[in-house]
Homo-oligomer: A and B are copies of this chain.
Amino acid sequence: MFTPATAEQKFVLDHIVRVATLSDDATPDMVEAVLEGAGAFAAGEWFPLERSGDTVGARWTEGGVVMPEGYAAAYRAYVDGGWGTIGSPVEFGGQGLPVSLAAAVLETMGTANMGFALAPILSVGAVEALMHHGTPEQQATWLPKLSTGEWTGTMNLTEPQAGSDVGALKAKAEPRADGTWSISGTKIFISFGDHDMADNIVHLVLARTPGAPAGTKGISLFLVPKYRLNADGTPGEFNDVRVVSIEHKMGLHASPTCVLSFGDNGDCLGELVGPEMGGMRAMFTMMNNARLNVGLQGVQVAERATQRAVAYARDRIQGVRAGAPAAIVEHPDVRRMLMRMKAQTMAARALVYLAFGELDRARAGDAAAEVRAGLLTPLAKAHGTDLGNEVASLGVQVHGGMGYIEETGAAQHFRDARITPIYEGTNGIQAADLVGRKLSMDGGAALLALIAEMRGEAEDAGLIALIDACAEVVRHLLAAEADDRLAGSYPFLTMLSVAVCGWLMEKQGRAAAAAEGDPAFLAMKQAAVRFYLAQIVPEALGLKAAATASAAMLYAVGAEEFAA
């Protein structure tokens, strides 16, 4: 039931990311070998655990979180196979390949088992934070084991009173005579905050130092291991980080969402990462990476839901066409749903991979690519996850009544997908980032450059109209008050994302027309591209009114009238 999307991944890496230009090592043979190896591994080791991840799930016990049977071994096999180190630097035990290739591998893991694959996502965030902000000693101490995945990482931002508003957090760090810090406080929503799959867990924790100013300016980042290290670098004494409970969530049950209590016994030690009060910058390093990876989760769940729906629709006989019993895939509206699922999944993948590719170029020193990656991040996160949800919902619909029965499996994807527009910055916050920081950092230059590039390449009349509409909205937003920008932010994010996806789909269509390879794959690609341009692009043009609507429309009544 799970087929690694190897051909599709390779196509996007070749034609959208141009992966061969990113590294001398990323030869076509190497890329193919990595993708196929990852696919075989995921199919063999992670996919069989997908259902028990949902039905059994991670469980809290007195002694810590216990994963379902088989997870620890499958995680070990992932580490041993080197599947987590593809994009990590060679000096820390990584393979030094493009992060866009690493993303494709992570996508495959997550398509096989979405909840499980959240563990490596968090570790990658911790690696990023230490690579950019850790001291050489910290890097030498922690990165080798984090890079390989022998130890896992977590991000500790949220507190009960501080969700999206990180600046409101209250966790404390008090300096100690030996240069370490004493950490105390409670963090919530910590994905894989505890589990039994690795020898140590490295928590990256935002906290306030004594006398720190209120808000985000007073926040520092600390590295707080579950177990302190012995002199030989092996995990030793327990570091007073207790998992108080795990959440009872709608989905993603394989991923334990923990409440962590730091320093209940006054014995939780942490190391400062980066400068004191420099926590927000370090956090953004983690967050930006995690945001792209959450966008990638949208691709994962879309791919999985599509594969399941296609298989069901080809198998399920219902009704008659041309006088004979027919599989439901032959009925026009089912076909429309499946075509939409295919097209949206391709679009999401192209968008997210493009952002990872820009990240690769940024790492190689390309400043324009860094700006472009920053611009694409809210699109990849928000639109990628919106599409994951749309496709998962269509997947349920294709199954009809069976889609609502848990045993069928389609419902799991629908439930699993629903967290992705929320965590790592809600999609509303992504939209605010787009029309705020990303739009205004350079007077809109980066965004207008992207739009100009798309405009120069677009051929489809509808796509051109959409791109032109995006340009108009940008000019409108640049001149607008902050609240008006925010009022139109989400519709604008969606229409811009569809424009980018349309551009990338058209590009893929041209590449498919010129490419040699599996005729079925190339025909499907071209059909999905035509569908995207003909049906999905025009829909997005309908968002222009909302993108340019004023905030006054939203504040015409007060908060209390909403309860009237």
Interface positions of A (Cβ within 8 A of B): 3, 7, 158, 161-165, 168, 188-189, 247-251, 307, 310-311, 313-314, 317-320, 327, 329-339, 342, 389, 393, 396-397, 400-407, 411, 414-415, 418-419, 421-423, 426-428, 431-432, 462, 483, 486-487, 489-491, 518, 520-521, 523-524, 526-527, 530-531, 534-535, 538-546, 549, 551, 553-557, 559-564
Q: How many copies does the complex hold?
A: 2
Residues of B within 8 A of A338 (CB): 562
- Is B554 in contact with A332, judged by CB distance below 8 angstroms? yes
| A450 vs chain B, min Cβ distance (A) | 22
Closest Cβ neighbor of A330 among chain B residues: B559
Query: What separation, in Å, do the CA atoms of A563 and B332 have in the docked complex?
Result: 17
| A57 vs chain B, min Cβ distance (A) | 12
Query: What separation, in Å, do the CA atoms of A116 and B424 have in the docked complex?
Result: 36
- Is A335 in contact with B555, judged by CB distance below 8 angstroms? yes
- Is A406 in contact with B557, judged by CB distance below 8 angstroms? no
| A71 vs chain B, min Cβ distance (A) | 21
Which of A307, A432, A526, A539 lies at the interface centre, i.e. has the most chain B CB atoms within 10 A of its CB?
Answer: A539
Closest Cβ neighbor of A8 among chain B residues: B564
- Is A559 in contact with B524, judged by CB distance below 8 angstroms? no
- Is A562 in contact with B396, judged by CB distance below 8 angstroms? no
Residues of B within 8 A of A521 (CB): 561, 564
- Is B165 in contact with A319, judged by CB distance below 8 angstroms? yes
Residues of B within 8 A of A489 (CB): 332-333
Residues of B within 8 A of A404 (CB): 247, 249-251, 418-419, 422
Residues of B within 8 A of A562 (CB): 310, 313-314, 329, 338, 342, 524
Query: What separation, in Å, do the CA atoms of A162 and B523 have in the docked complex?
Result: 33
With A411-B418, A524-B564, A530-B556 given, can you name 19 additional A-B contacts, CB distance below 8 Å?
A: A164-B400, A168-B318, A248-B407, A250-B414, A314-B559, A332-B551, A339-B554, A389-B393, A396-B418, A396-B422, A462-B545, A520-B557, A526-B556, A530-B553, A531-B554, A534-B545, A534-B549, A535-B546, A541-B542
Query: What separation, in Å, do the CA atoms of A34 and B447 have in the docked complex?
Result: 57
- Is A335 in contact with B419, judged by CB distance below 8 angstroms? no
Residues of B within 8 A of A400 (CB): 163-164, 422, 426
Closest Cβ neighbor of A250 among chain B residues: B411
Residues of B within 8 A of A251 (CB): 404
Query: What separation, in Å, do the CA atoms of A391 and B508 have in the docked complex?
Result: 35
Across the A-B interface, the 3 shortest Cβ-Cβ residue pairs: A542-B542, A332-B486, A520-B564
| A392 vs chain B, min Cβ distance (A) | 10
Residues of B within 8 A of A557 (CB): 520, 523-524, 527
- Is A336 in contact with B538, judged by CB distance below 8 angstroms? no
| A93 vs chain B, min Cβ distance (A) | 34
Query: What separation, in Å, do the CA atoms of A489 and B336 have in the docked complex?
Result: 10
Known contacts A401-B189, A487-B336, A540 near B538 by CB under 8 Å? no
- Is A538 in contact with B542, judged by CB distance below 8 angstroms? yes
Known contacts A401-B189, A483-B332, A559-B314, A250 near B415 by CB under 8 Å? yes
| A223 vs chain B, min Cβ distance (A) | 24
Residues of B within 8 A of A423 (CB): 401
Known contacts A158-B401, A339-B554, A397-B422, A539 near B543 by CB under 8 Å? yes
Q: What are 20 A-B contacts with C-beta separation under 8 Å?
A: A163-B402, A164-B318, A247-B405, A248-B406, A250-B405, A311-B563, A330-B559, A332-B487, A396-B418, A397-B422, A397-B426, A403-B422, A518-B564, A524-B557, A526-B556, A534-B545, A538-B544, A538-B546, A539-B542, A539-B545
Query: What separation, in Å, do the CA atoms of A121 and B320 have in the docked complex?
Result: 31
| A259 vs chain B, min Cβ distance (A) | 11
